[in-house]
Chain A
Amino acid sequence: QKEVEQDPGPLSVPEGAIVSLNCTYSNSAFQYFMWYRQYSRKGPELLMYTYSSGNKEDGRFTAQVDKSSKYISLFIRDSQPSDSATYLCAMSRPFGNEKLTFGTGTRLTIIP
Chain B
Amino acid sequence: GAVVSQHPSWVICKSGTSVKIECRSLDFQATTMFWYRQFPKQSLMLMATSNEGSKATYEQGVEKDKFLINHASLTLSTLTVTSAHPEDSSFYICSAPDRTEYGYTFGSGTRLTVV
Spell out B's residues near A (CB within 8 Å).
6, 31-32, 34, 41-46, 49, 91, 93, 95, 97, 101-104, 106-109, 111
Which one of A6, A41, A97, A107 contacts B31 once the chains associate, using CB atoms below 8 Å? A97
Q: How many A-B residue pairs have CB under 8 A?
A: 51
Which one of B31, B41, B93 contacts A43 once the chains associate, using CB atoms below 8 Å? B93
Q: Enumerate chain B residues within 8 angstroms of A6, measured Cβ to Cβ.
A: 43
Interface hub of A45, A97, A103, A104 (most chain B Cβ within 10 A) = A97
Spell out A's residues near B (CB within 8 Å).
6, 8, 32, 34, 36, 41-46, 49, 51, 88, 96-97, 99-105, 107
* A102 and B44 contact, CB distance less than 8 A: yes
Q: Enumerate chain A residues within 8 angstroms of B6, measured Cβ to Cβ.
A: 43
* Alpha-carbon distance between A102 and B106 when the two chains are bound, in angstroms: 14
Interface hub of B95, B103, B104 (most chain A Cβ within 10 A) = B104
Q: Enumerate chain B residues within 8 angstroms of A32, measured Cβ to Cβ.
A: 102
Minimum CB–CB distance from B94 to chain A (whole Å) comes to 8
Across the interface, name the chain B residue whose C-beta is closest to A97: B32
